[in-house]
Amino acid sequence: MSRKILIIEDNLTNLALIRDILTFHGHEIAVASGGQEGVSLAREIMPELILMDIQMPGMDGITACGILKGDPATSRLKIIALTSFAMEGDQDKFLKNGFDGYLSKPINTRELPDQIKRWLEGGE
């Protein structure tokens, strides 16, 4: 079953890799290259899942997540932090900032489809 996923990522290589994997697994993919664009697109398409990069020029992922979670119209969107921050405590930091999950880079391409499936089904 096709599920609508928004990828907000400024690195074109990462974006293409994730998009291609998820498209191959039958998902409908929308992309944004920055936080502001991602917030606008999320409000427009209301995806079932958002993969949000943290470090982006302009509006970072934590700010964008805060805007979406603070808006009653988008507060229930499931947002996953997509980041190269993989130190102890980073996952907790992102969860405390409103993210629903955490995915560290580099992406494990073999595990990504199952992780996405679990998040879409309401699990971690």
Q: Which residue has the tokens 């994997």?
A: 21
**Quick check: 87 pLDDT over 90?**
no
| Amino acid letter for position 13 | T
pLDDT of residue 38: 97
Cβ(5)–Cβ(29) under 8 Å? yes
Which sequence spans correspond to the domains of the chain? 4-120
Q: What pLDDT is stored for residue 115 in this prediction?
A: 93
Q: Collect all residues with Cβ–Cβ distance below 8 Å to 45 and sequence separation of at least 6.
A: 4, 6, 30
Q: Are 83 and 102 in contact (CB under 8 A)?
A: yes
* Predicted TM-score (pTM) of this structure: 0.92
Q: What does the pLDDT read at residue 119?
A: 92
- Domain range 4-120, its CATH number among 3.30.420.40, 1.10.240.10, 3.20.20.70, 3.40.50.2300: 3.40.50.2300
Write out pLDDT tens, residues 17-64: 999 999 999 999 999 999 999 999 999 999 999 999 999 989 999 999
- Per-residue pLDDT of 52-81, as tens digits, reads 999 998 999 999 999 999 999 999 999 999
Contact criterion met (CB below 8 Å) for 100 and 52: no
